Chain A
Amino acid sequence: MSNEKIQAELAKYEANVEKAVAKFPERKYLPEKRIYTPLDVKGDEAYAEEIGFPGQYPFTRGVQPTMYRGRFWTMRMYAGFSTAKASNERYRYLIANGGTGLSCAFDLPTQIGYDSDDPISEGEVGKVGVAIDSLADMEVLFDQIDLGKVSTSMTINAPASVLLAMYIAVAEEQGVPADQLRGTIQNDILKEYAARGTYIFPPKPSMRIITNIFEYCSKNVPKWNTISISGYHIREAGSTAAQEIAFTIADGIAYVDAAIKAGMNVDDFAGRLSFFWNAHNNVLEEVAKFRASRRLWANIMKNRFHAQKPKSMMLRVHTQTAGSMLTAQQPNNNIVRVALQTAAAVMGGTQSLHTNSRDEALALPTQESVTIALRTQQIVANESGLADVIDPLAGSYYVEAMTDRIYNEAAEYIKKIDEMGGAVEAIEKGYIQKEIQDSAYKWQMDVENKRRIIVGVNEYIDENEEPPKGLLKIDASVGVEQCKKLADLKAGKPINKMTKGRDNDAVKAALAELKDACKKDESENLMPHILKAVKTYATLGEICGVMREVFGEYEAHVSL
Chain B
Amino acid sequence: MDKKVRVLVAKPGLDGHDRGAKVVARALRDAGFEVVYTGLRQTPEQIAEAALQEDVNVVAMSILSGAHPHLFPKVVNLVREKGMKDVLIIGGGVIPEGDIPALKEAGVAEVFTPGTPTSDVVEFIKANVKA
Contact = CB atoms under 8 A, between A and B. Distances in A.
A448 B117 contact: yes
A128 interface: yes
A538 to B, nearest CB: 21
Given A124-B13, A127-B65, A559-B37, A467 B23 contact: no
B67 interface: yes
Contacts of B19: 236-238, 324, 440
Interface stretch (A5-13, A360-368, A519-527): A360-368
Nearest to B97: A467
B118 A448 contact: yes
A556 B39 contact: yes
A447 B115 CA distance: 9
A440 B22 contact: yes
Q: Which of B14, B16, B94, B114 has the most CB of A within 10 A?
A: B14
A36 interface: no
B66 A363 contact: yes
Contacts of A121: 14
A311 B23 CA distance: 40
Interface in B89-105: 94, 96-98
Nearest to B35: A560
Nearest to A437: B22
A481 to B, nearest CB: 16
A128 B115 contact: no
A467 B37 contact: no
A125 to B, nearest CB: 9
A131 interface: no
Contacts of A448: 117-119
Interface residues of B, number: 33
Interface string B32-55: 000001011101000000000000
A476 interface: yes
B48 to A, nearest CB: 15
A192 B37 contact: no
Interface string B2-42: 00000000000111111100110111000000000101110
Contacts of B85: none
A108 interface: yes
B114 A471 contact: no
A282 interface: no
B23 A440 contact: yes
Contacts of B129: none
B97 A474 contact: no
B96 A444 contact: no
A70 B13 CA distance: 45
Contacts, number: 107
Contact of B98 (A237, A456, A457, A467): A467
B19 to A, nearest CB: 5
A395 interface: no
Interface in A180-199: 192, 196-198
A266 interface: no
Nearest to B18: A197
Interface string A236-247: 111000000000
A327 interface: yes
A329 interface: yes
Given A127-B65, A471-B96, A108 B114 contact: no
Contact of A361 (B13, B67, B114): B114
B71 interface: yes
Nearest to A479: B70
B67 A123 contact: yes
Interface in A446-489: 447-448, 454, 456-458, 467-468, 471, 473-474, 476
Interface string A358-392: 00011110000000000000000000000000000
A197 B114 contact: no
B60 to A, nearest CB: 14
A124 B97 CA distance: 19
Given A123-B71, A556-B39, A197 B16 contact: yes
B91 to A, nearest CB: 13
Q: Which of A109, A197, A324 has the most CB of B within 10 A?
A: A197
A328 interface: yes
A172 interface: no
A266 B99 CA distance: 51
Contacts of A328: 113-115
Contact of A109 (B14, B18, B37, B94): B14
A473 B117 CA distance: 26
Contacts of B25: 560
B67 A127 contact: yes
A65 B25 CA distance: 48
Given A127-B67, A444-B23, A196 B16 contact: yes
A545 to B, nearest CB: 16
A362 B95 CA distance: 6
Contacts of A467: 96-98
A476 B68 CA distance: 12
7 contacts: A109-B14, A124-B67, A198-B14, A361-B114, A458-B117, A476-B70, A560-B25
Interface of B: 13-19, 22-23, 25-27, 37, 39-41, 43, 65-67, 69-71, 94, 96-98, 113-115, 117-119
The 7 A-B pairs with the shortest beta carbon distances in the complex, nearest first, are A197-B16, A123-B70, A467-B97, A108-B14, A123-B67, A127-B66, A328-B114
Given A328-B113, A440-B23, A559-B39, 7 more contacts: A197-B40, A197-B41, A237-B18, A441-B27, A444-B118, A467-B96, A473-B96
Interface of A: 108-109, 111-112, 114, 120-124, 127-128, 192, 196-198, 236-238, 324, 327-329, 361-364, 437, 440-441, 444, 447-448, 454, 456-458, 467-468, 471, 473-474, 476, 556, 559-560
